[in-house]
Structure 1
Amino acid sequence: MNIPKCVCKENRAPTAAIPSDCVCSAVAGPMNVHKMPMEGFKVPAVPLRPLATKTNTNDTQEQSSTSSELKKEDKKKSWMLTDFELGRPLGKGKFGNVYLAREKESHYVVALKVLFKSQIQDAEIEHQVRREVEIQCRLRHPNILRMYGYFHDEKRIYLILEYAKHGALYHLLKQCKRFDEKTAASYVRDLAKALLYCHSKKVIHRDIKPENLLIGHKMELKMADFGWSVHSPSSRRMTLCGTLDYLSPEMVEGKPHNYAVDIWSLGVLCYELLVGMPPFDAIDSHQTYKKIRYVIIKYPAFISEKAKDLMGKLLVVNPEQRMPLANVLQHPWIVENAPEGSHPPANNSHPPANNPRHQ
C-alpha cells in the first residue's frame, strides 16, 4: 500500500493552511469510519466521551474542568472522525502525525494523533501502540497528558489527546538554550510528581526525555508518549529501550531494571535543563556508554551546589540507592526554587551565555 508522505513542518503558525498533498488533507476529507474490531489489536473498553460541555474554548483558552467534561458522557459513547474539525499540524512522527482538532459539539480543543495501521504492522510495534492506549487511557494526573479516547477505521488509528498549548519541552529548551534554576526546578518537580503517580499505578515510563514532555497552558509540565512504558507489577524488566543519553547503567549493561530507571532519567533531565545538553553526551555511543556506566559527569561552574547535590543523589549506579521520588519533592533545591503552586514564566527566552551545545 502506498501511503502519501506528509510534508507538514512542526509547529506552523496558526494561520498556516494545510497543504493539499499532505496526509491530513486525506484525513480531513470524506472517509468511511467503520465501527469494527481491530484485527489483532486489543484495546480497553471504549472510554466515555468527556468533551460535551458547550464552551467558546479556543486553542489559547483554558480547557473546562473534568467535572464539566463528563456532564453528557451518557449520551454518546463512541467517537468518529466526523465529530471533529481538523486544524493545523502540531507535530510529525515516524508512524503518523498530530493535528489540532476541535470537537464539534462542545468546541473543546484537543490534539488528534493519527497513526497508520500499515506502518505500525510493518514495524512490528502493535504491542507498543496497544500498551500506549491501555496505559495512558487509565492515567489521571495534572502532569500527565490526558488521553480522552480513541477510534479507528480500516487504515488509521486516532488517539484523542489533551492539547498542550506550549508544545514540547524540547523546542522550548532549544529556544532558551538552557533554563535558569527556578524554571528547571519547576519542571523537575512536575515530572517527579507525575512519575510518583505512575509508579503508584505500577507503570514505568522508560523513555523520559524533553521530546516526550509537553508544556500546558499554565507552563506546567505534561508527561506524554507512553509507547515504551510498561505496566509491571513485578517491577523487574529486561527490555533495552529508551534514548541512549537517558539510559541507566543497569539498562546499558543489560541487567534487569525496575522503577529506578525513571529516577535516573529524572536526574539526566535535570542536568540537560540546566546545562542545555545531556550529562553523558560524547562524540560516539561507546564513549556515552562508558560515561553512563561509571557516572562520569562534569558540572559547569554556574550550577549551584544544591542542584549538584540533587543530581548526585539521582545519578547513582546502584538503583536501590537513588533518591526516592517523594524525597526529591522535599529536596532543598526544589523547595527553594519551585514552591508548590509556582510555574515557570511563559517567556523564559533569555539564553544564558557559554552554553556548550550552542557554541
Structure 2
Amino acid sequence: MQTLNDYEIIEKLGSGSYGDVMLAKQKESGLLVAIKTLEKRLLIKEKKQYQVFIEKEVLTQVKHPGLINLIASFQSSSQIYLVLEFVEGGDFANFLKINKNISQQNIVFYSAEIVSILEQLHSNGIAHRDVKPENIMVANNLHIKMIDFGTANFFDERGLNESVRDKLNELREISQQDERFMDEIDQYQQKHKATFVGTAEYVSPELLEDDICGPQSDLWALGCIIYKMFTGTTPFCDQTEYLVFQKVRACQYQNSNKIPQDAMDLISKLLVRDPLSRLGGGLPSINYLYQDSKNTYRELKSHPFF
C-alpha cells in the first residue's frame, strides 16, 4: 500500500472545494504525477463521499487515451489521495485564449476527440456532467484529456459488478441521511453557484429547469465548446449569470458568420432543448446501451462537419 511518503511534493498546482492538487514525483521511478488531496472532514460534512467513490470508479473502470489516468489511490486518517497522470500542457480554456484563430481543421480534430471521449463514457453508463474547456487538458503532443470527474454519475449501472453497485447504494443512503448539516451545505452551494460563471455558460436547460443533468447534457456542452472554438465566445454569453441562464432556457443564441454552415448545422442539432432530440441523444451503441435507438453516436459521427 502506497503512502504520501512514496512521493516528493514539488509544488501546488491548484485548489478545489475539498483540497489541493499537487505536482509530485514518484521517488522510486522519478515519474511526475498530480496528486489530488481531499479532506475527509469536508467530504463527510457535505456528504460528498459518494462523488469521490464515483470519480475513483470511473477512472478505474473506463480506459481511453482521452481520459486522465488514475495511477494510484490511498488515504491517511484525514485525507484521501488520488494519484493522477500529470498533463503538462495546460487546460483547453487557456489553449483557446492563446490560439484565438484556431483553424477549422483543428476545430474538427478537437471536436472529434471530445466526441470520442464522451462516446466511451456514455457507452459505459457514465455522464461527466461538467464538460467545459477548464476540465479538458491539452498535452504536449496537442491531444486532449478530460479531467475532473467529481460531479460524474452512473446513469446506467448494468455494467457494474455487484460489489460496486452495493457500495454506490450504501453511499447514496449516507448522503440522504442525517440532515444536521443541511444549512451549512446550502450556504456552501450558494457560495459555489456565485463563483460558477464559467460552467454557467455550458449548463443545459434541463439542469436549470428540472435539476436533471444526464449524459445528453454533455452533448449540449459539446455544442457550446464548438461554438466557442469558432467565435471565441460561448453561445449564451452575457453580462450576468442570470442573463446567461435566461438565454439558455430560451435556447437563444446568434448564428455567426465566423462559423461555417456545416458546423452551424451541427451546433443547432446539439443545442436543442429536448435532451433526447439532440444529435446523438439516444446515446451510444459501443457496448450494450440503447442498441435500438436511431439517434446514437453513429449519427453524430456521421455529420458532414466531421
> What residue is the counterpart of 2:127 in the other structure?
204
Answer whether contact 1:114 1:156 (CA < 8 A) is retained. yes
Give deviations 1:36-55, integer Å, cap 9, x for gaps.
xxxxxxxxxxxxxxxxxxxx
> What residue is the counterpart of 2:32 in the other structure?
109
How far apart, CA to CA, are the structure 1 residues paired with 2:21 and 2:299?
36
> What residue is the counterpart of 2:238 in the other structure?
282
1:302 partnered with 2:258: yes
CA RMSD of aligned residues (A): 2.3
Answer whether contact 1:111 1:160 (CA < 8 A) is retained. yes
What runs of 5+ residues in structure 1 fail to find an aligned partner?
Answer: 1-77, 335-359
> What residue is the counterpart of 1:293 in the other structure?
249
Higher Cα radius of gyration: 1
1:228 partnered with 2:151: yes
SS, match of residue 217 in structure 1: coil
Answer whether contact 1:99 1:113 (CA < 8 A) is retained. yes
Give deviations 1:66-96, integer Å, cap 9, x for gaps.
xxxxxxxxxxxx2111222222332222322
How far has the Cα of 1:209 moved from its partner? 0.7
Matched letter for residue 134 of structure 1:
E
- TM-score, length-scaled by structure 1: 0.65
The structure carrying a bigger helix percent of its residues is: 2
User: CA separation of 1:179/1:234 partners in 2, compared to 1, >3 Å: closer, same or farther?
Assistant: same
User: CA separation of 1:287/1:220 partners in 2, compared to 1, >3 Å: closer, same or farther?
Assistant: same
SS, match of residue 113 in structure 1: strand
What runs of 5+ residues in structure 2 fail to find an aligned partner?
Answer: 159-188, 281-296
User: CA separation of 1:120/1:178 partners in 2, compared to 1, >3 Å: closer, same or farther?
Assistant: farther
How far apart, CA to CA, are the structure 1 residues paired with 2:32 and 2:240?
42
Matched letter for residue 281 of structure 1:
C
> What residue is the counterpart of 1:173 in the other structure?
96
Q: How does 1:238-317 map to 2 (within 5 A)?
A: 243-254=199-210, 256-317=212-273
- Give 4+ residue runs of structure 1 displaced > 6 Å after superposition: none
Identity of aligned residues (%): 31
Matched letter for residue 165 of structure 1:
E
Answer whether contact 1:164 1:216 (CA < 8 A) is retained. yes
How far apart, CA to CA, are the structure 2 residues paired with 1:264 and 1:182?
22
Give deviations 1:8-29, integer Å, cap 9, x for gaps.
xxxxxxxxxxxxxxxxxxxxxx
Give deviations 1:134-178, integer Å, cap 9, x for gaps.
222222000111112211112221111111120211222233346
How far apart, CA to CA, are the structure 2 residues paired with 1:90 and 1:274?
29
How far apart, CA to CA, are the structure 1 residues paired with 2:266 and 2:272?
11
Count of residues in correspondence between the two structures:
253
Answer whether contact 1:136 1:147 (CA < 8 A) is retained. yes
How far apart, CA to CA, are the structure 2 residues paired with 1:297 and 1:268?
10
How far apart, CA to CA, are the structure 2 residues paired with 1:87 and 1:330?
45
Q: How does 1:1-359 map to 2 (within 5 A)?
A: 78-177=1-100, 179-233=102-156, 243-254=199-210, 256-324=212-280, 325-334=297-306
How far has the Cα of 1:234 moved from its partner? 7.2
- TM-score, length-scaled by structure 2: 0.76
